[in-house]
Amino acid sequence: MSELAGNGCQIIVPFDERKPLKEIEKSILKKYRKYTWSKFIKAIKDYKLVEEGDKIAVAISGGKDSLLMAKMFQELKRHGQVNFELEFIAMDPGYHKDIRQLLIDNCEYLEIPIKLFDANIFEVADEIASDYPCYMCARMRRGALYNKAEELGCNKLALGHHFDDVIETTMLNLLCAGNFKTMLPKLNSTNFDGIQIIRPLYYIREESIIKFIQNSGIWPLNCACMVAAKKTGNKRYEIKDLIKSLGDNFQEVEKSIFRSAQNVYLDSVLGWEQDGERHSFLDKFEYEE
């Protein structure tokens, strides 16, 4: 593997011993209800993420986000009124064997019945895109997850992106790519007919997930990447720090960034793209003349 060392990966250390499973499950509905469960339910309702008859592939990387997502889906099935099915899919992109074992142990302990499958992603990303493997890796990873979801007859693929991922993406696009584009809570796949991506942690703050996982005593997968080891040139970490520092001078800056994607005034933008077609504010003048 190439030598792309870097920092930025946050190691999450549990507060204490691993709690009994029943206690962990209860903490989602009680102690962390306001900041995790309620927000999960709100996103599901607001964006109609779970519907009658759905078969949902819940993608489990073994990190903190997807572990919490899996437990919340199980709770929803237990307590909710909607009829739906769940599959838990975990892809091994070429983890170190100890990391793979940690993923298996955690899922066994948490009673998340994962279907673990192999994909040679780290090696290929390192080989064909050794300078910037992250983009390639993310694309291939998504493809492998879609494939598995389709093979299992699922119509939805749930990913563990949370509120902070959403605003970081918005800022990343604005500051680095010069466009305004956020991460959506639900979207249709362009390549896999009939499969939707859903992001039920859309409203949940990362700090709440960290608190929950630390309290549970679980060691989640942290730096499982074998290629770029979270990563030189990964602007996402710089954006994360930037948003944090903006918070010193701008009140509730995170909420403002989030809300900006809910309040785009199309009458006040120069250009936009829709369904692959470019539009300009000038079109309107030409049309009127």
Ligand X SMILES: Nc1ncnc2c1ncn2[C@@H]1O[C@H](COP(=O)(O)OP(=O)(O)OP(=O)(O)O)[C@@H](O)[C@H]1O
Interface with ligand X (CB under 6 A) = 59-61, 63-66, 89-91, 93, 141, 145, 159-161
Q: What is the DSSP string of 38-57?
A: HHHHHHHHHTT-S-TT-EEE
Q: Which helix (H) or strand (E) holds 132?
A: none
Least Å from the CB of residue 74 to ligand X: 15
Least Å from the CB of residue 50 to ligand X: 16
Cα–Cα dist 65/110, whole Å: 14
Cα–Cα dist 237/223, whole Å: 14
Least Å from the CB of residue 66 to ligand X: 3
Take residue 69 and report the two structure tokens written for it: 């997502």
Residue 41 or 144 with smaller CB distance to ligand X: 144
Cα–Cα dist 177/157, whole Å: 27
Residue 155 DSSP symbol: S
Least Å from the CB of residue 122 to ligand X: 10
Residue 37 or 95 with smaller CB distance to ligand X: 95
H runs (alpha helix) in the chain: 21-29, 38-46, 64-79, 97-109, 121-128, 133-151, 163-172, 206-216, 235-246, 253-260, 282-288
Residue 241 or 283 with smaller CB distance to ligand X: 241
Residue 37 or 73 with smaller CB distance to ligand X: 73
By the 8 A CB rule, do 50 and 79 touch?
Answer: no
Let me know how long the chain is: 289
Three-class DSSP category at 172: helix
The CA-atom distances, in angstroms, between 154 and each of 2, 92, 126 are 36, 20, 30
Least Å from the CB of residue 161 to ligand X: 6
Least Å from the CB of residue 142 to ligand X: 8
By the 8 A CB rule, do 202 and 162 touch?
Answer: yes
Q: What angle do CA 206, 196, 151 make, to 5 degrees?
A: 110
Residue 89 or 229 with smaller CB distance to ligand X: 89
Query: Taking the mean position of all CA atoms in its chain, how far away is CA 135?
Result: 15
Residue 152 or 264 with smaller CB distance to ligand X: 152
Residue whose beta carbon is closest to ligand X: 63
By the 8 A CB rule, do 86 and 181 touch?
Answer: no
Least Å from the CB of residue 31 to ligand X: 20
Residue 147 or 279 with smaller CB distance to ligand X: 147
Least Å from the CB of residue 160 to ligand X: 3
Residue 111 or 283 with smaller CB distance to ligand X: 111
